[in-house]
Every structure is written in C-alpha cells, then in structure tokens.
Structure 1
Amino acid sequence: MSDIKKRPQRGGHGFGPPGANMMMTGEKPKNFKGTLKRLLAYLKPRRTRLTIVFLAAILSTVFTIVGPMIMGMAITELFEGAYGEIRGEPGASIDFGTIGELLLLLAGLYLFSSAFMYLQQYLMSTVAQDTVYDLRENVSAKLERLPLKYYDQTAKGETLSRVTNDIDTIGTTLQQSLTLFITSFVTIIGITAMMLVISPLLTVIAIASLLLSVFVIRPILKRSQKQFADQQRTLGELNGHIEEMYTGHPVVKAFGHEEKAIQRFNETNEQLYEAGQRAQFMSGIIMPLMQFIGNFSYVLVSVVGGILVTQGRISIGDIQAFITYTRQFTQPVMQTANIANIIQSTIAAAERVFELLDEGEEIKETGVAHLERARGAVSFEHVDFGYGDKLLIEDMNISVKPGQTVAIVGKTGAGKTTLINLLMRFYELNAGTIRIDGLDTRDLSRDELRQSFGMVLQDTWLFNGTIRDNIAYGKMGATEEEIVAAADAAHADHFIRTLPEGYDTVLNEEASNISQGQKQLLTIARAILSDPPIMILDEATSSVDTRTEVLIQKAMERLMKERTSFVIAHRLSTIRGADLILVMDNGRVIEQGTHTELLDKNGFYADLYNSQFSKTVAS
C-alpha cells in the first residue's frame, strides 16, 4: 500500500490534456547534470545512429516546413493567372505547367519528409531498446551481486519499481520524446524563420498571441496541477485500500469489518470523484482558451494580411502559407514545454536506477580454497556480528562434528536465524571466523560454499511451474528417476500421483492449489535431490497438521541421515534426539549440550522445555 502512495504511475489516466499528469507527478532529480551525463554515457556507443536520427529529424522537419511555402507559391500562381484573365490583361492565363511542377515538388517534399521520419523513428527505436537492454542487463547483474542486507532493508515494491517502471520510463522517453523534442525545436526555429521571411509584422502578431495564451493559461495550469496531485493522491489511497481489503478479505470477514471497509471506500471514492471533477474542470478550460486566443490571432492575421495584400506588400499565397504556419506554431511550443517536464521525470527515474546500480555489493570473494564435498565439520571461532553499530552476536564459539544434528533454540529475536545467515555467508562477520572442514568460509567462493548446504525453511518457496520443475530446482539436469526417488523419500510421491496431472501439475503463482503441508514436502524433496552434506531446517513443521507433521518428520529424519544438520526449533519435543542443542539468548549461546544434559542443569532450556510441556498437559 505504501508503495502505491509513494510511486503513483507516470503518464495519463484519461484525465485532462496529454502531459498533465506527467507534469504533476514528475519527480525532480537531485543531481540533474550528473545523472544526465551518466545516462548519455549509455547512448555513446550508439552515437552514429543518433547522429543519423538527428539529421533525419532535421531534414524531415525542414521538408515539412517548406511545404506551406510551396503551396503558397502555387496558390499565388493560380490567383494571378485567374485575376489577369478576369481583368483581360494581354497574354494573361493560368500556367498549369508551373502549378503542376510546384505540386509535384510539394508531393516530393512530403514523400521525402515521411521517409526521413520513418528512418528516424526506426533508428531511435533500436537505440532506445538497446539502451534499455543494457540497463536491464546491468541491473540484473547488480541484483545478483547485492548482499542480503539490501533486500532486508529495501521494500520489494521499491526494487521492482526501479527495475520495471523507471527503466520503462527511460525507454519510452528515448523512443518517443527525444525525437519529438528535436522535431519540435527545429519546427519552432524553422517556422519562425519562414514567418519572418513572409512578414515581420504578422510574425510579431503571431508571437504576441502565443505569449498572451501562455500568460492566461499559466495560473490555470498551476491550479490544475494541484488538482491532479489531489486526484493522484486519492487514487493511490483508493488503490491501496482495495488491495488491502481484497488481500486481507478473510480477516475483514472474520472480524466483521465489512461495513467499515465499505464506508472507507465510499469516503475515499467520493474524494477521488471531487478531486477528479475539479481537475477535469480546470484542465477543460485550457483548450477553449487556447482556441479562442488562436482564433483571435487567426482573424487578426487575416485582416492585417488582407490589408498588406491590397497594398501589394505580400502575395495572397503568402497569407495562406502564413496562416498555416500560425496553426503549426502553437503545437511544437506546447510539446517542447511538456517534454521538458517529461525529461525531468525521466532523469529522476534514471537517478533511481543509478542509485540501485551504486548500492554496495557483497565483499569480493577470493576463492583461494576449494571444497569438493564437505564432511560437515563446522566451527564458529570468536564470531562477532551486528546488523548495525550494535553487536547482536559477541564472541560466539561453536564446534560441530561431521554428521551431528545441532538444534538451535531460544526466544524470538535471540539470533537463531542470524546464525544460519552467517553460516551461509548471507552477511559478513564483524570479527572472528567460521570454518567448514577447517577452511575459512571467506576463502571459499560463495557458490561453492552454498552448494554444501540444503535448506528447508518455514516459509516455503515454490515458483509458478510444474511440480516436476519445482523438485528439479534442487539439481541441474536431474533425471525423471532422480526426481521421483526424491519425492518418494520425502513422502510426497503418493499425493503427487493423486493429482489430476501428477508430476505435470502446474502450481499457480502462490502455489495455493496444494496444501501447506504438501508444499513443505515438495521443498524437502527438492533438498533431498540436491544431496547436500550439510542441512539447514528452519521449523519446517510449524504450520501443518499433526498427520502431515508426522510425514514431514519422517522425511526430515531421512534427509538428515549421515549429514550435519542445523535445526531451528520452536517445538522442543521435536529435537530431543539432537546430538547438540544450542540455547541462544540475545545473540549468545548461553547453554549447550544434549537434551538430557540441559534438563539436568535445570537452567534456561529446562524452564523453556517445562513451560511448553506444562502447556501441552494443561491443554
């Protein structure tokens, strides 16, 4: 919900004139020049195509601008010939040959203009897509190098917005707005030059009317931007409310808050209606005012031009050409003003993408040591770690022998999951050393280190695809026999075969077409297939029913056999057979030993175990 409010969509929603929403929602970049320079660096390898695009845009626009002048010459030739015949001047006649040549020249100009326009659009589309392709490649590679810390501290929607919306904004601007800006700029200069050639006096009238329209529209535009801002804000609130209500629909039903949810929807919807109505009204005034001033200028140019014609200072064809130019003059001016705002928003989007690319990466690995297949000896030696300035783990020392099952218990926030994150090298140590088979994990490549581990987490992760593909995710190039064997070992084969499509059953995006317990069995099958020497199990049975828990426990026992295993447990009854139990509190291992040894100590673990046992008996 917060992401919807923070990141309103750029571009139009069907409200107001083109560009109104862009002008309203555009973010201002913090460092315009620096970001622009960096973005231009992505265009540098395509400078040849960009040069051709620039020249094609100029030629296309010039040919278009010259068109009305040629048309004016043809009209003048027709008028003078016809007028001479009416007056009975000797030898006066309409020179259809000259008019035909002028019209053929005009057709040729428009044909060349269209050809150059097509060339610039085609080349610019390739430049834009190649640039966006490079950006996406760089961002994708960057995301792979970012530490887990970044993902923990950054909202998923924020990262997705930068990877999709912001890069799409850059691509759209490069493909559409950049060439439009070039053509608009050239059009303004060219039309101004042509109007000055025809009549400096009429040019002053046309420019004065344009300045008048800008002066009249500016205060309305400012107010309309405020109204569009209110509209976008309330639209974000409405979207967020709808998303919350539909996502948490069972909770709303369970607590009987339907009326309250509907009331809030109606209130926000009413606010959106009022804000949208005001925004529509304010933006709706702009075009009539511009048309009124434009028509007034049209009449004034026609009257003054007619007087100049009667005085013989300009021809009637020049008047027709000038009127065409005045009609064409307003559009590129408005486009240029709007594109300036679009470019500002694009630079802001590029800045957000570059901020992602500038994020601190994982510490570069040396990879000086190699581990073919770990025996499973793990040791923590004087380990210190903290997510910030304050240390969460201080001077931790643990020694685990190959094949041992190590259970990690403690209150919420004691540091159990943090210990696993350090073991997997998702975070770097502040001090100390973690060793596997005597090798410092920092001397191993991260890929080689993580290949030694298999993980079954409390939160199951399955992707949109077949059950077969989800299990095979644990091993590259797994055969059908290996997949089925892993599923059978995880006690998942039976339920898979009862599904209509069996192993070809496609899991939806949320994997909600199978139960939570079945999902957990699939993740265990995936871990079994990977056949790692060290296993990590994070409370894999906490959210399943008793019968499924028995199946999962059996699967996990088979999975942990002859492997070093780290088990994070909340139900202490499930880890009584562990070879070593680590009791954590505030980042420290305060007790360690077997279940019997810890109960005999009558300390923290005994209190924790007895409290759970008492609750079980009481229930």
Structure 2
Amino acid sequence: MKPDHLIHKNRKDKMATVSDQPVRTAQVRYRDLLRPYARHLLLGALLLLMTNLCNLIGPRLINDAITLLDDEQPFWAPYISDSGVTVGVVSAILVVVALLSALVRVSSRGVVFNVGRDVERDLRQNLFTHLSVLSPKYFQNNEVGDLMNRMTTDLNNIRLLAGFALLNMVNSLFVFSGTLPLMIHISGKLTLAALAPFPIMMVVAQGISMELYRRVRKNQENLSVLTAKVQENLTGAQLVRVFDQGDAEIQRFGTVNDAVFGSSLRLATLRALMFPFMGLMALLSTAIALAYGGQLVVAGEMQVGDFVEINARLMQLTWPALALGFIISVYQRGKASLDRINQILTSAPEITDGPHTGELGGQVTVNDFSLRYSSDAERSLNDISISAAAGQLIGFVGKSGSGKSSLLRALSRQRLGESGHISFDGVAAEDWNLKNLHRQIALVPDEGFLFSTTLRENIALGKPNATDAEIDEVVALAGLENDISLFPDGLETMVGERGITLSGGQRQRVCLARAILVRPRILLLDDAMSAVDAETEARILTSLREGFASSNQTRPTVLVVSHRLSAMPEADHIYVLDKGRVVEEGRHADLMVEDGIYTDLWGRAQIQKQLGVEHD
C-alpha cells in the first residue's frame, strides 16, 4: 500500500484537519514525498536542462573567439552574416548566453527549492496529525523533547534532501551527460587522462557516505536527548529550585551537552575531511589537463582554442564534483532523519475507531475489566465491574494507587484494557466512533493543562463559537465568578504558560468550566477539585447537577474520583477500590455500617477536617 494519505495530493488540501485524514500507518519513502510535485519537478528539470544547454555554448564561443584571432570564421558565422563575425560579436553573444543562463538557473532553483519547502510543510502537518491520534501511552514512552527535535531539525534535513540535494543531483547528471561527450569529441585521450582521479573520488565517497550516515544518526539522537533535557528543566524549573538541585541539573546537562559536542565534532571532522578531498581530486584533474593538454598543443596535436575549450568544460565539471561531497552529506542527513520520522509514522494508534455514532444516553457498564500498563507490570485494574445509570453521580474512593485514575482513563478511551468489556448505552466502547465519543465524554484530571492565552479561550477550547452567555453560565457553575471579578481584564486575562498566573484551585475550576461548556453526557472528574476546599467542592457538584437541570439540559452522568470524601454522601453509589479491585460498594450510609476501608477513610477525613488539614 502506498502511503498517499501521508502526503497532500494537491495544493488545495494542504491544511487538512485531523478529521479529514484517515488514520493509517505507513512508511514514507523519498519518492512518496516528491510524487505530489511531479509537475513542478519536471518544470525545474527543464529549466536546469536549459541552463546547462546555455553553459555548453559558452566554452564553444570562447574557442571560436580564439579561432577568430587566426582569421578563421566559426562554422556558424554564415548564419549570422555573409561577411563573417568579429570577436566583438562573439563576445556579445557570450554575454547574452551568460545572462540567459543566470536567469534560467535562478528560476530552476526557485522551483526546486520551493518543492523542498512544500515537502517540509506537508510532512510536518501530517506528522503533527499522526501524533494527535496516538494514545497517551506513546507519549509516556517517548520524550517530548525528542519529538520536538524530530518536528524541527529532522524535517529541516528532509527539506534539504528534497530541495538542495535533488537540485544538485539532477544538475550533476545534466552537466556530466552533456559535457563529457563534447570533451571526448575534442580529445578522447586528454579527457580520459583528466578524469582519471574521478573513479578514486567515487570509491572514497561511497565509503565516507556509509560512515557519515552512522554519525549523523548518532548526532540526531544526542540532539534529541539534549532537547528533552532542556524542555524538562524549563518545565520543572520551580521544582529544581525548591529542592536546590540546580547544580546537579547543570552537571547532568553538561554530560548531555558534552555528548552532543562529541558527536557533532566527529561528524564535522568527517565532513571536513571529505570536502577538501573532493577539492583535491578536482584540482588534480585540472592539473593533469593543463600539463598533458599543454604538451598536445606544443606537439601540434591540438589547437589552442580546443585546449582552452576542454579546460573550460573541465572547470564546468569541477563544481558537480565538489558538490558530490555536499550531496552525500545532505543525502545521509536526510535519510537518517526520514528514518526517524518513519518511526513515528509507522506507530499505530493503540485505540482505533469504531463505526457507531449517535448521542450518548449516559449509561456506563464495566464488566470484569483488567488493565496493565506494560507487559512486565502488575495489573492496575483487576476484574473491575461497575455500572452507572444515566444522570447518576458515582463516587470512587480508595488509597493512592488503588486504580481509580486508571479506571477513568479507560472510560475516556485513553487506555486499552487487557481483558473484560466497557460499554456505553449497551454498545461496546471499541464499537464507538472515537471523535463522537470524545465529544460527549469529558475528563477533568487533577492537573489540568491550560494554554498560554486568555481565560475565555481556555474555557472555550472545546466550543470556540460559545456565546458570552454560555461562558458566563459555566463560569458560575464552576464557581469562578468571584475570582474572575478580581482580574483587571476579566475573561480576557492572559493566564501565562500552563496557567502559571493562576492558583491551583483556579486552574482546576477553569478546566472544569471548559469541560462543562461542551455539555458532556458523561463527566469524569479525576480528583479534579483537590486544590479547592471541601465546601467549594460540594457546592460545585451541587451546581453541576442543579445547574444542568435549570438550563433545560439533560443531567450528565458524573463519575467522581476524590481522595477527600466530603462530596461522597451525595453520591448515588460509591465504589471503594483497593489494589485494582472493587472491595466495597454501596451508598454512603450503607458503607458506614460495614466498618471497612470506606469507614476508615471517612474517619481519617473527619479528623483532618477537625485539625484544619484542608486544601486552600
């Protein structure tokens, strides 16, 4: 199967959205990147051909000008004038040809280099699209810094491969195929002698190319580690300072930085040896032509004009020979980068789409569901069975690590189970269309992410066209009214990167408002109000239930995970988890008489409340 889905078929669908493109996995090959631009590449090749045809004329005109000094007219003179041509006329023609060559060359570079830019843009768009459908598990196993490096440095290398390297490869092909026959026509033995160093150059270039690929690949990997280390420390800068780990992190960064320096130096050393070698071979070729050609002229076996022409043509071969080193370097960098990009594009989404669409009623059923994060890890969930009727408030409590958050991630279709079944309204979760399901199920984690933009835009993330009235309503439901009234710019306040200008409780309530705005049929709260006080948490939960009803909206099914039990008495049903299993269940009053884990947790919560151990 050819990966046409990974490249844009024409210029009209450059900005295709995630929903416009099918989720597939296929390896991108070099020709797949260039296929959409075949016509542009053909135009570029024709312009390059015209450039080289002009360049073929130049040395011949120089030869003819020298011949005119001996009062011999060139063969084409009668086509210009019956009385012949002068050196001035030949010089004028040479200038016109040179100008035409320059104009066409600039045009060819513009066409081919633009293809490189287009390939870079298209591949970046498709790479981002593919990343957006991969499961959270993929990002846990791959560092963000490494992915960022692939999205920038590696794509830049592929751009050079599709533009610079391609242009010079085609140009070299035209130069050699056009120039060599003319040189052989003038003097076969001088041509063979002058080109004697070229086979040596090719053999050495092949050996260097293989080693260059290995060094480029290693350097790219080290750069990814460096990018990841920088990203990690910038994100956790406050934590590093709090624990006074600045010196230790500087030392760790130095180790990574030294590794990049070493691999970059080894790569630069190889390239530094390659380019002078190519230049030396080209100069050796010129020296042979001058020495041997001079002997032929002295011996009367070659005209001076032919000697000058063949040396001029040999000079035309010098740049393609020198460019061979650049082409090899760019090709190997691009090849290594394309391999790294393909590692992402061939990664299949863990969770795939199903055919079922439609509106959710809100019923949730989990039967004997087990979850394991990796093959060598213990089960996070073990034969879990729960049920929630539409519109119910279901509570999940338990000690840290009991599996509460894992269950909500599975319900939001972020994790794939090892065994068992999850269904919504009686339809298996895997049969639901993911986009349709995500539109109706909202998960609010304990550490919600905010973008570096305004409060309004963060709240309206899932519904960009939300009206002011709709936003005001969810702000009230989430208990944000008083906070926003204190901000000088209100909802237009910039929250900073990751919402750094807000308190923990404010960030959580903004994330809650964002989830409520899309009117989900199932609302999953994963300790989403841990940074607000118990009274505020209870008030928000009450507002969610009553607020939806007062807005003539169907009340959502709310599944709440909370380490704090103040809201549990209002729950329609409570599940107590321990070591990935449901060990107790029932309403608050029922669980309190069982004298089990729930009773113990409730007692601890009351003691903490009396001692004033509460969140701000």
TM-score by length of 1: 0.77
The residue number in structure 1 matching 2:354 is 365
1:558 matched residue in structure 2: 543
Matched, 1:378 2:360: no
How far is 1:299 from its partner?
4.7
Cα distance change, pair 300–154 in 1 and its aligned pair in 2 (3 A): closer
| Aligned match for 2:157, one of 144, 150, 169 | 169
Instruction: Give 1:290 deviation, angstroms.
Output: 6.2
Q: Give runs of aligned pairs for residues 207-356 of structure 1, distance below 5 A.
A: 207-210=195-198, 246-260=234-248, 298-356=286-344
Give the match for residue 513 of structure 2: 525
1:451 positional shift: 3.5
Deviations 1:496-531 (A, max 9, x none): 233232222233332212222222221222233233
**What does residue 77 of structure 1 align with?**
68
Shift of 1:490: 2.2
Percentage identity across paired residues of the two chains: 28
Query: 2:215 and 2:127 mapped to 1: Cα distance?
Result: 36
Distance (whole Å) between structure 2 residues aligned to residue 270 and residue 383 of structure 1: 48
Q: How far does the alpha carbon of each residue in 1:399-450 deviate from its partner, in whole angstroms, 9 at most, with x for none?
A: 3234332111223333222322332333455555444445554554334433
Change (3 A) 1:429 1:241: closer
- Report which stretch shifted further, 523-532 or 111-120: 111-120
State the Cα RMSD in Å.
Answer: 4.1
Residue 466 of structure 2: aligned partner: 478
Q: Is 1:586 aligned to residue 579 of structure 2?
A: yes
For residue 582 of structure 1, report the CA deviation from its aligned partner: 0.7
- 1:119: how far off? 4.1
In 2, are the aligned partners of 1:489 and 1:558 still within 8 Å (CA)?
yes
Query: CA distance change for structure 1 residues 152 and 196 in 2, over 3 Å: closer, same or farther?
Result: same
For 2:570 and 2:172, the matched residues in 1 are separated by: 78
Number of residue pairs the alignment of both structures matches: 566
Structure 1 residue 177: Cα displacement: 1.5
Per mean C-alpha deviation after superposition, the further-off stretch among 267-276 and 409-418 is 267-276
Instruction: Tell me the alpha carbon deviations over residues 576-598 of structure 1, each in whole angstroms, 9 at most, x when there is no partner.
Output: 44332211223321111123322
CA contact (8 A) 2:212 2:329 kept: no
Higher RCO (CA 8 Å, separation ≥ 6 residues): 1
Q: Tell me, what secondary structure is at the counterpart of 1:572? A: coil
State the match for 1:19 in structure 2: none
Question: Which residue of structure 2 aligns with residue 52 of structure 1?
Answer: 43
Q: Which of 44, 48, 59 does residue 68 from structure 1 map onto?
A: 59
Counterpart CA distance in 2 for 1:461 and 1:383 is 28
Distance 1:181 1:294 in 2: 17
Question: Matches of 2:135 and 2:206 in 1, distance apart?
Answer: 48
Q: Distance in 1 between matches of 2:210 and 2:160?
A: 26
Instruction: Indicate if the aligned counterparts of 1:221 and 1:283 stay in contact, CA closer than 8 A.
Output: no
Within 1, Cα distance between the matches of 2:393 and 2:239? Answer: 39
Partner of 1:196: 184
Paired AA for residue 365 in structure 1? G
Q: Which amino acid aligns with 1:73?
A: D
Partner of 1:468: 456
| Alpha carbons of structure 1 residues 512 and 145: separation in structure 2 relative to 1, 3 Å | closer
1:467–1:504 contact (8 Å) kept in structure 2: yes
How far apart are the structure 2 equivalents of 1:239 and 1:290?
34
Higher mean C-alpha deviation, range 428-437 or range 284-293: 284-293
The 1-side partners of 2:476 and 2:261 are apart by 58
Moved more, 123-132 or 230-239: 230-239
Q: 1:496 aligns with which of 484, 494, 502?
A: 484
**Following TM superposition, by how much is the alpha carbon of 1:614 offset from its aligned partner in structure 2, in angstroms?**
5.7
Counterpart of 2:308, as a letter, is Q
Aligned match of 2:401 in 401, 409, 413? 413
* Deviation larger for 580-589 or 345-354: 345-354
Kindly indicate whether the alpha-carbon contact (under 8 Å) linking 1:521 and 1:552 is maintained by their aligned counterparts in 2.
Answer: no
Q: Residues 77 and 556 (structure 1 numbering): CA distance in 2 closer, same or farther, change over 3 Å?
A: farther
**Residue ranges of structure 2 left out of the alignment (5+ in a row):** 1-25, 73-82, 547-554
Distance in 2 (CA, whole Å) between partners of 1:42 and 1:227 is 24
Change (3 A) 1:288 1:501: same
CA contact (8 A) 1:383 1:432 kept: yes
Match of 1:87 in 2: none
Q: CA deviation at 1:538?
A: 1.0
Counterparts in 2 of 1:359 and 1:232: CA distance versus 1, 3 Å: closer
1:131 deviates by: 4.6
Q: Give the distance between the partners of 1:225 and 1:43, measured in 2 at CA.
A: 22
How far off its partner does 1:574 sit?
A: 4.5
1:70 Cα deviation after fit? 1.9
Distance 1:402 1:255, change over 3 A: closer
Deviation at 1:487, TM superposition (A): 1.5
Question: SS of the counterpart of 2:195?
Answer: helix
**Counterparts of 2:439 and 2:159 in 1: how far apart (Å)?**
38
1:541–1:552: 8 Å Cα contact kept in structure 2?
Answer: yes
- Distance in 2 (CA, whole Å) between partners of 1:382 and 1:203 is 81
Q: Secondary structure at the match of 2:593?
A: helix
Tell me the SS of whatever aligns to 1:507.
Answer: coil
SS at match of 2:577: strand
**Structure 1 CA distance for aligned equivalents of residues 490 and 336 of structure 2:** 49
Q: 1:228 to 1:139 in 2, by over 3 A?
A: closer
8 Å CA contact 1:71, 1:317 repeated in 2: yes
- CA separation of 1:219/1:473 partners in 2, compared to 1, >3 Å: closer, same or farther? closer
CA gap of 1:226–1:402, structure 2 versus 1, over 3 A, is: closer
Contact 2:48 2:171 in 1 (8 A): yes
Secondary structure at 2:87's aligned position in 1?
A: helix
Q: Distance in 2 between matches of 1:440 and 1:419?
A: 16
TM-score (normalised: structure 2): 0.77
CA distance in 1, matches of 2:176, 2:516: 69
Q: Which 10-residue stretch deviates more, 495-504 or 348-357?
A: 348-357
| Partner residue, 1:568 | 561
Distance 2:292 2:342 in 1: 55
